[in-house]
Structure 1
Amino acid sequence: MSEEVTSHRSKKHESWEWIKALVIAIALAFLIRTFLFAPFIVQGESMETTLHNNEKLVVNKAIYYLRDPKPGEIIVFHADEERDYIKRVIAVEGDTVEMKDDQLFVNGEVVDEPYLERKEERARAKGERNFTHDFPPVTVPEGHLFVMGDNRLNSEDSRVIGPIEESAVVGRAEFTFWPISEFRMTR
């Protein structure tokens, strides 16, 4: 066999290996994005001061294959066919939620919300008295979640759109990665 034929076969084999590697990489990227993790861009100020407009974060899509969302977690969900929202889980199916005098109650007990401290301090410094408008008791239906934004006076959440279906949940926000100077866990 001539050296030229061997060289041609070697180049053909190398090309085939590159094509296989590229196909595998694309398939892995597709599987990871579809079932495990996905990027998300925060749009709007409804989660201030926890998350900021235009921050980019990673959403863990796999966690809710293993268990249900829990109160306090920040989730991304399909608000409708065109938009995804990011909000905090306040209550799960069967829970009763109520807001009175800036106090959140779930099943009649006051909920500690340490993630609101900075927002409340800023609001009070501006002379704002109520951080969250009162609303009467709402019982979360089966298969649903009650969600609210951390910026309670500027959030379209379950107080407006009602409890959301668990099936609409995309995943849990894990960490912000952009801007790089703001890299942090989102819990």
Structure 2
Amino acid sequence: MEKSKKKELLDWIKSIAVAFVFVIAMRTFIFSPILVDGASMMPTYEDGDRVIVNKISKQIFGIERFDVIVFEAPTGENYIKRVLGLPGDHVAYENDILYINGESVKEPYLDLYKEQLLDNGTLTQDLTLESLTGYTEIPEGYLFVLGDNRRFSSDTRDPKVGLVPLEKVLGKANVRFYPFDSVGIVK
């Protein structure tokens, strides 16, 4: 009887150890939860939202324009922003219109925010890639990112952040799991 209790205890310890290693591996290499801290991605993500960072999708599918990513900023903090410019692109804003390589590009995720502006200003001030970075096109290995709440976001426009090196990207953030009334995939 004593041997069977020891065996059962040992089996439990093995099961817990395997589960622990599995969870650590999943969190390190595949998925990781993060807390959205601040209003820079409103209305897409609100302060206090909890999202899943999909780390593996960046390797499998790559990063595309308009993906929402999480990256390690130069401050050491993790930032969540939207990718607007990819390597080789030229990015500009004029009269609240995004231009990629000289062509206007629609940003439907900002329509509601633009409608809610109380003043007659623009959501995104005029800018060019050259005025922010000195580059005429985004260099290989870098991304141009902005927060959706353009007036209150520390992003590529901030010299402390600048263009985001691809190796600093942790993954894509497109699943919200809290608050519970907003659970789901976010575009």
TMscore range, shorter length: over 0.9
In terms of fraction of residues, the more helix-rich structure is 1
Could you tell me which residue of structure 2 aligns to residue 66 of structure 1? 60
Structure 2 counterpart of 1:181: 181
2:156 aligned residue:
158
Give yes or no for the alignment of 1:102 onto 2:96: yes
* Mapped partners of 1:67, 1:145: distance in 2: 16
Amino acid at match of 2:156: S
**Residue type of the partner of 2:145?**
V
What letter matches 2:170 in structure 1? V
Distance 2:122 2:45 in 1: 21
Separation in 1 of the partners of 2:115 and 2:119?
10
1:141 aligns with 2:128: no
- How far 1:137 sits from its partner (Å)? 3.6
1:90 to 84, 90, 108: 84
Q: Name the counterpart of 1:111.
A: 105
Query: In 1, distance between residues paired with 2:119 and 2:87?
Result: 36
> 1:35-90 CA distances to partner (integer Å, 9 max, x unpaired)?
00000100111101111001101110111121321001000000035301000000
Structure 2 match to 1:9 = 3
Identical aligned residues as a percent: 36
Instruction: Kindly tell me the number of residue pairs found equivalent between the two proteins.
Output: 179
Per the normalisation by structure 1, the TM-score is: 0.92
Runs of 4+ in 1 over 3 A off after TM superposition: none
Amino acid at match of 1:135: L
SS in 2 for 1:53: coil
Aligned to 1:129: 121
Larger gyration radius, structure 1 or structure 2: 1
Cα RMSD, aligned residues only: 1.1
| One-letter amino acid of the structure 1 residue matched with residue 104 of structure 2 | V
| TM, length-normalised to structure 2 | 0.92
Letter in 2 for 1:162: G
Question: Following the alignment from structure 2 to structure 1, what is the Cα–Cα distance between the partners of residues 106 and 74?
Answer: 30
